[in-house]
Structure 1
Amino acid sequence: MFQEIWNPVVLGFFLWFAGIAGMGSVAYALMKISKVEEKLKELSVIIFVSIVLALVFVVADLSRPLNMPFAILQSLLSGTFIVKIFISWMSFGISVLSLLLLLSFLLLLRHTFVPGLQKLTDQKWCLVLTGLIGFLVVIYSGFLIANAPGIPFWNNALIPVLWIFSASVCAVAILKILVKNESITHFLTRAGLALEVGELVSLVALINVSLYSGIEAAQESACALFLGPLAPAFWLFVIIIGVLVPMGLGFVLLRKEDRNLALIAAICGLIGALALRMLVLWAGIPITITL
């Protein structure tokens, strides 16, 4: 019943790392603009490593992976770059991924080997650009799935919304692992709770819209996640580990911050986000055309 064309594990890791890099860049920009300096160096390393790994996984899924580096180079060096990014989703994706790779590399150098880059990367326009490109990477990863032809379960505007909430949960989780300042972690706890509620609402909406869409393939996909063969993994890794445990611990942490509980909540959120992407991909059932 399920497809055998795309690889849910490989693409799932691509979407996960792209989400971490994308919303991590937004978090970096917001922290820097707000003059919060704690753990920015470590965050810049995570952003750079995540975008590199995202590119590694997306290249691994291509039928002709050696073409990808040349496409990235061409997208960056072409004189018609601004025009080309709007031609297709592939051009747009290569462009925003390449730009985030370049910007994250500059942030990494700024905190490690080339202190002279501090003046450039600390400019407000550069921070806004970094956050904007990171957000576009997350949007692209959502619309990449939502625009896939012949998979009704994916052809839903709620996918990009769900991806934004889930990637934001990942960014907050990364920060909770890194940051130890109690006032910052308390803010992150509240932000994480709000984002997890948004993620859960978006996920429930996606399942319900698919169940009542009238398209058989979309209904089969939703049923597979909710009650079917993918349900055990969905309920355990996405709902319980990925949403309910972090939410429950979040309410406990609102009373008093606890480093160990915060780490458990963060790790559970990251696991749930990865499982969500893999299972949504796995549940994609193509439309059957009968002649």
Structure 2
Amino acid sequence: MATKAKTGNAVWETIKTIVYALLIAGVFRTLFFQPFWIPSGSMKPTLLIGDFLFVNKMVYGYSYASCPSLRIPAVGLDIDAKDLCGWLAGDNDRILGGEPERGDVVVFRHPVTGRDYIKRLIGLPGDKIQVKDGVLHINGSAVKLEENGVFEEVAEPQGPQRLRPRCENGPVGTGGICQKSEYIETLPNGVSHAILNIDDQASDHTGIYVVPEGHFFFMGDNRDNSSDSRLPQVAGGVGYVPYENLIGRADRVMFSSAGRSMLFFWTWRSDRFFKGIE
């Protein structure tokens, strides 16, 4: 009997330990940092497919979007942040709210689908944003652009989704060198970052977007391969993003996998450990 009691107690202690660990992890993820793995190439060259980072949630304060969404398609689990914290949604406000700055790399919830996106904050409330001949204009003035050589990568399937990169020198066969022109773009507040050019396309020639109050305008650094605020939500884009939909700021890449899974440690990129995000 004593042995059975000890076994029962051991099982119960193990269950309690697991529950406590999950609760602590949940609180940590909700209040402080959320892990994020880059699934696409829309933020190249700043972020590569397979980059793993933590999003700082404290910097912008908290809203319903701070609650984690739990999605595991393999077991049919799909719990949205609004299912957990929907009572906080709707007023476009935040608790202990902090103001994002132009040039921040931000993770946010898509206003329609609820999926997490990561882009660069380009337009603040009241700004007029336009792209003319591939050059970003903010409030009627062109941003500063400087040539920065050529961004090169191998033309091959990348990441779990096996996405092939688009190339300025394309089409490029598998194993060939895919090239894109790289520029340094400097925003009005002095923030500089690299952007890429692939082709002359519709997103290089836009009308004027006037950012509504309480909303923000986002763009990917891989300008010709990014679904962002230049495309309205009804057309599959991001549109204007409400303040309450911001999750946090991405500051540093922890590590990066060039393979199909972040668990394949032999594919980790040696030059991206703890790399700062500019």
Query: Under a length normalisation based on structure 1, what TM-score does the superposition of the two structures give?
Result: 0.23
Bigger fraction of residues in helix: 1
Query: Under a length normalisation based on structure 2, what TM-score does the superposition of the two structures give?
Result: 0.24
